[in-house]
A and B are shown apart, each in its own frame.
Chain A
Amino acid sequence: MSEADLTMGTHVPGALEQSPFAIPSKKLVMWLFIASDAITFAALLFAYGFLRNATPDWPRPFNFSPSIINVMLMTFVLISSSLTMLIGVRMAQAGNKSGAFRWIFITAAAGILFALLHLREWLGLIAEGVRLFQNPWGAGTFGAAFFSITGLHLTHVVGGVVAMVVVGLRYRRGRYNADDIEILGLYWHFVDMVWMFVVPLVYLLNVKQ
């Protein structure tokens, strides 16, 4: 970098400072997004906990069949999709482009399956009379809390599936590299991680005994 460049303020990437934490900037941005999004979900879960604790007639509507069985299936699909994503990332890092592409699309398919199971769960509850501010069993805010938390998570899943299709295709065409696949993987594992908190707090603490 010449003295003239410094005087003119020309930016030469990497010439002046090292990447923070020795990772690419886009990966750091994804980590920061994950931290902020984790706080968003935590705020929703705290608000749900607040409501549940302060409401004596909080409903416990989830029967083992079909609700908990459906949730078990959804959990299995989502955790398994994390493993398939991990295999895709490893293949991308090893330079196996077609293998990485295949595993990313298997992961996307698992995401779609999860979303369909989620919609089935929602439709079942709606058929039982659960609405945003009323339900047949007790506190009306149950629906608002349930649909807000699971709805935000479902939005993340759908967003992740769209991202996988876009990034996967661009990776195959050579526009993206293994780093981009790894960053996509971080997002997908985060979506999986959020579900690990949603299941016990929203579903399992409200099972019909």
Chain B
Amino acid sequence: MQSAEKPGSVLKSDVIIYLCILAIAGLQIVLAYQKVELAQQLFRMLGLAIIQAGLAIMFFMHLRAEKRNLLLFLAIGTIFVLGMMNMIWSDSFRLLHMRPFPS
């Protein structure tokens, strides 16, 4: 499903989204050299990556122009599986703090 906007204005909005994604990529590199805790850095990086991906999905892949049911169908299924994968994190902490011998 395509939007009924004029071709010129559509291309303009594409370029704006492109520049936003590039700017976020630049910001990530700046943040990479800030001296903060790893967990906080991970949180910031992941947050910015999710914003970038959201912009790409909605505007480059035009998911915002499709039926809302498609968005819900894809998002709920994918996020549920990713949430389930999150279960392994506790094991990684357990390994770190209960190591029987120093490496």
Contact = CB atoms under 8 A, between A and B. Distances in A.
Interface of A: 21-23, 28, 31, 35, 38-39, 42-43, 46-47, 49-51, 53-57, 68, 72, 75-76, 79-80, 82-83, 86-87, 90, 93-94, 139, 185-186, 189-190, 192-193, 196-197, 199-201, 204-205, 207, 209
A175 to B, nearest CB: 22
B81 interface: yes
B15 A200 contact: no
A201 B44 CA distance: 11
**A-B interface, 6 closest residue pairs, ranked by CB to CB distance from nearest:** A200-B45, A54-B95, A204-B32, A21-B70, A53-B92, A54-B92
Given A75-B25, A90-B7, A56 B45 contact: no
B93 A53 contact: yes
Given A196-B49, A200-B48, A38 B78 contact: yes
Contacts of B2: 93
Contacts of B35: 209
Given A189-B61, A192-B56, 5 more contacts: A38-B78, A42-B85, A79-B22, A204-B45, A207-B32
Contacts of B85: 42-43, 46
10 contacts: A42-B82, A42-B85, A55-B103, A56-B96, A68-B32, A82-B60, A193-B53, A196-B25, A197-B49, A207-B33
B72 to A, nearest CB: 10
Contacts of A42: 81-82, 85
A196 B61 contact: no
A205 B45 contact: yes
A193 B45 contact: no
Contacts of B28: 199-200, 204
- The residue in B21, B61, B81, B89 that gathers the most chain A C-beta atoms within 10 A of its C-beta is B61
Given A22-B1, A83-B15, A193-B56, A200 B67 contact: no
Contacts of A75: 25
Contacts of A38: 78
